[in-house]
Amino acid sequence: MNQGQQQNSQNPPTLQQAQPVPNVSPVQNQFNSTAQQLVPHAVPAQRNKITEVLLPVNRSAWTIVGSYFALVSFPFIFFGPIAVFCGIMALIDLKKRPERAGRARAIFTVAYGGITTLVFIWFLSRLVATS
C-alpha cells in the first residue's frame, strides 16, 4: 500500500455543512433554519391533483375510515351508525383544517351511513315487533 492510500484510510473525508446562499429567501416552514442550511434554494412541493384523487393523501383520517364503514354498511347494516359518526367527525376535522381535502367523501359517508342507519332502525323495529 503506498503512502497516499494509507493517509486516506487514516483521515477519511469529512462532510461540511452547507453554507447559505446570499440573496435567496429562506424556505418558510417550521424547519426554517435547517431547510435554509441544507437546501437554500428549495421550493415548496406542489400538490398533485391526480394523486389526491387516486390515493387518500392530504385527507382526514376520519374521512377515510368513515367512507370504508359506509361502504361496508350495505351488507352489514350495523356499521351505518359508525359511518355517520365518522362522517360527522370528518366534517368537524375538515372545518378545523381547511387545507385538507375530502369534504365530498365525508358528505357521502354521512348520507350513505344515514340511509343504512335508517334501514338498521327499521330492521330492529320489525324484529322487536315480531317478538
pTM to 2 decimal places? 0.60
Distance, in Å, from the CA atom of 33 to the CA atom of 45, rounded to the nearest integer, reads: 18
pLDDT of 3 reads: 55
Does residue 117 surpass a pLDDT of 90? Answer: yes
Average pLDDT over residues 15-36: 53
Q: Domain extents for the chain? A: 14-45, 49-130
Read off the pLDDT band of 19 (50, 70, 90): low
Residue 29: per-residue pLDDT: 47
Q: Quick one: pLDDT at residue 110?
A: 97
C-alpha to C-alpha distance for 94 and 100, rounded to whole angstroms: 6
Q: What are 73-113's pLDDT values in tens digits? A: 988 989 999 999 999 999 999 999 998 888 999 999 999 99
Contacts of 77 (CB under 8 A, 6+ apart): 116, 117, 119, 120, 123
| pLDDT computed for residue 123 by the predictor | 92
- State pLDDT tens for residues 29-83: 444 555 555 555 555 566 677 777 778 788 889 999 999 999 999 889 899 999 9
User: Could you tell me where the beta strands, DSSP code E, fall in the chain?
Assistant: none
For cell 452547507, what's the residue? 18
Can you tell me the distance from the alpha carbon of 41 to that of 122, in angstroms, rounded to the nearest whole number?
A: 62
* pLDDT higher than 60, residue 1: no
**What's the CA gap between 41 and 58, in Å, rounded?**
25
Distance, CA of 75 to chain centre: 28
Q: What pLDDT sits at residue 59?
A: 87
